[in-house]
Amino acid sequence: MNYLKDIFELRHHRVVSEDTLTNVYNFARKSLISLILLETIFLYLLTPYVGDAAYIWYGIILVFTLWRLHDAYDFKNNQKRYTTERWHKRFVIRAWMTALMYAILILFITPQLSDYYQLLVFVIILGMSSAEANTLSYDYRTAIGFLLILYVPLFATMLLITKVETIILAFLLLIYFFAQANIILHSYKQKKTLDSKEEKISEMETILQEKQELLHSLFEEAPIGIFSCDTDCTIINCNEELSTLFQSPQEEIIGQTAYKVFKNSTSGDLNRVLRGKPLVSKDSHLLPNSEELLVEIKYFPFTDSDNKGIGLIGLVDDKTQEYKAQAQLSILAAQDSLTSLLNRRGFEEYMKSITKDLRYGTYYSLLYYLDLNDFKNINDSLGHSTGDIVLIDIARRLSKALTFSCEICRLGGDEFIVVIPFISTNLEVMQERMHHFSKKITDIFKEPLVINNSSHLLSASVGMVIVEPNFKDVEELIRRADIAMYQAKGSGEVTSSYNAKIDEKQQEQFALQSDLHHALREKEFILLLQPIVSMPDDTVIAAETLLRWQHPTKGLLSPDKFIPLLIKSGLLWDTTWWILEETCIQISRWKRQNRWSLDYISININVLQLLEDNFAPQYLSMIEHHGLNCSDITLEITEQTLVENFKNTKEVISILQQHGVRFAIDDFGVGYSSLSYIQNLSLDAIKIDKSFVLNIENKVSDIALIKTIFHIAEQFNYTLVIEGIENEKQKEILFNLDNNLVYQGFYFSKPIPKEEFSIKYLDSKNIINS
């Protein structure tokens, strides 16, 4: 039978439609109250025979029935709360759980009843199941599942009772199940067929109505021009909007072929549309009033009910204002609003355009990068409006001076770029032309600017780049020009051409600075010690801590290679504290080992670090933590930085001196020498820079300068340390000047690791002393 096949195909059924779900819940609201009454009557009949167990079953089945009733009303009022799939799952689960509770009743309670009540229970169950199946009939899957859950236990119970009457009833029940299932399936198919027919009729009517309304709306009310063509591409109809756009009567348009009216659309293009390929085309027309009309035409094939092509439809959209606005926006987007020169975006577009020129493959071009000097002072002193006047005037002067075919751009702020393309194929000629045009550019600054009746002379730093043929990296060109400009600014020159070697060096410095960020963390820094020796007997009395960087690829680097980068990147402070900490640890270790025999170890410190918050208490705390005396370490400050920050650092130095911290002036004589700070601070030592010692054998003037420094040091009671002694002759000259000097240099020892220093200069002392 067909319904048996339908029953076995239940597993392929998925979520019901929204309309079916609505019918199911609506029917549930009407029938579940009656079901509750039947369940209550069932309780009344069962209680005398099964006792309190009947109440337990009744309570559970009542909860499920009320839950289903609540869902039915909740679906009605809050259908959007869940998806259709989730509502359906809730309905199915609760219905099948109700059937399961009936099955439990049959399995566990029925055997306790007498024959009469067993029959009564079977009859009531059949009645309730019939009512439930009717309630669930809109969802045949759920209905048949309900019957299976209920009838299988009932059928099994009847067979287990092993009475002839109940066995007969069991087979009658099986026939009854198939009959009910057939009725449910038949009813479902009828509803489905009827609904499907009604839906199709309704859908067809709706589609026809919508098509009619759409066609009417398109032709009569659409704000764009519409026309239709036959299979020969002849226009057979058009709306009033198209006539208005073309400023022509409809009669003049109808009858023409579309590819003659819209000249950018060929007959081949329109024939492809007739074969089913839509087309979008742009066209322009000269209207009777001599204005240009810019339109966009969308062509679509038009077919009959058999999908046979019977013509095409065209939609014509007026894009005149949009295209003009886009063109204007493109101009504005590429133009500097203040000077009307090209901005950065305009410059990039210009560069892209000239790189497409055939001449770009063989000709050299020129690029100049201008940065106004002291422009910030004009903005700060005279206001930004005055600064704007200056920028406008500079733009005007550049445009007037450079009559040669070129492009001038303002990148932003006070930065300008001048591009002169396709000058020559000869590089030597380019060198001459580069200086020729650079003079034209710099000459515009010779005439003062008159601002508010006062004259102001401006200058600029100019970077120059010869653009090689086929060089298309615009960002790299700007970078090179920027480097050349900063080179001019740094050297004090007005102009500077790009130097690849300097660029390479700067990139190397940048990479080195990047590596510095993890040098301390990766323990790449090492400390060396250089002995400080008494002149008469070469006794090591002290040492200087010197920092080196063991770079993973570049090897051992001296401070002049990376200290400026440490300062620039802000890493010098952490590094200095690390040097101080490591030196304290080493001195403390030597003291514990009874090997400490030096007067002090000196450490070079940037004077700006003294201005760091809480430097003095933090440093004194470190000394105390390691059990050292403040005199065990001498802090060396370079003369130049000391003079530049004298007022700010005087207080900090005085505080540290009160606790016994010793200071030395490093590189004395090469900075801004001033006797005032020597007198006011009363520091402990002066270290004469090695540049005075370098040519002491040949320059009498250097000996005279050293004698002067000797007298100053003696006058203010400073200890003198001579740096950079590299040979016997230098030492001899200085010894003859003053035999009480202290010195350091390669003549006695280069900087060495602390372990080697300990063996050479500390252990031997202890042996001699012992």
- What is the per-residue DSSP string for 89-125? HHHHHHHHHHHHHHHHHHHHTGGGS-HHHHHHHHHHH
Q: Is the pLDDT of residue 12 over 50?
A: no
Q: How many CB atoms lie within 10 A of CB 34?
A: 12
Assigned token pair, 415? 């930065």
Minimum mean pLDDT among 10-14, 70-74, 453-457, 469-473: which range? 10-14
Q: What is the pLDDT of residues 456-484, one digit of tens each?
A: 788 899 999 999 998 888 888 888 888 88
Query: Of 540, 539, 545, 557, which Cα lies nearest the Cα of 585?
Result: 545
Cα of 439 vs its chain's centroid, Å:
44
Q: Give me the half-sphere count of Cα atoms (radius 13 Å) on the Cβ side of residue 665.
A: 28
pLDDT of residue 205: 61
Per-residue pLDDT band at 68 (split at 50, 70, 90): confident
For 8, list phi and psi in degrees, rounded to 5: -75, -15
Q: In what order do the strands lie in the sheet with 415-424?
A: 407-412, 415-424, 364-372, 460-467, 495-497
Per-residue pLDDT band at 4 (split at 50, 70, 90): very low
Is 242 or 57 the better-scoring residue by pLDDT? 242
Q: Is the pLDDT of residue 581 over 90?
A: yes
Average pLDDT over residues 749-761: 93
Q: What is the pLDDT of residues 588-622, one digit of tens each?
A: 999 999 999 999 999 998 888 888 878 899 999 99
Q: For 215-219, which contacts have Cβ atoms below 8 Å and span 24 or more sequence positions?
A: none
Q: Decide: 462 and 444 in contact? Cβ < 8 Å.
A: no
Minimum mean pLDDT among 120-134, 257-271, 320-334, 598-612: which range? 120-134
CA distance 115 to 106: 14
Q: Name beta bridge partners: 367.
A: 419, 465
Q: Is the pLDDT of residue 324 over 50?
A: yes
CA distance 178 to 174: 6
Cite the DSSP H helix spans in 570-699. 572-592, 615-625, 639-644, 646-658, 675-681, 691-694
CA distance 627 to 586: 12
Average pLDDT, the chain: 81
CA distance 450 to 457: 9
Average pLDDT over residues 741-769: 81
pLDDT of residue 321: 80
3-state DSSP assignment of residue 254: coil
Q: How many CB atoms lie within 10 A of CB 206?
A: 10
Q: What is the pLDDT of residues 665-697, one digit of tens each?
A: 887 766 555 566 676 667 888 888 888 888 888
Q: Is the pLDDT of residue 169 over 70?
A: no
Q: What is the pLDDT of residues 354-368, one digit of tens each?
A: 888 889 889 999 999
pLDDT of residue 419: 92
696: CB partners within 8 A, 6+ apart: 702, 703, 706, 730, 733, 734
Length reported for the chain: 770
3-state DSSP assignment of residue 192: helix
pLDDT of residue 65: 78
In the DSSP assignment, the letter for residue 468 is P
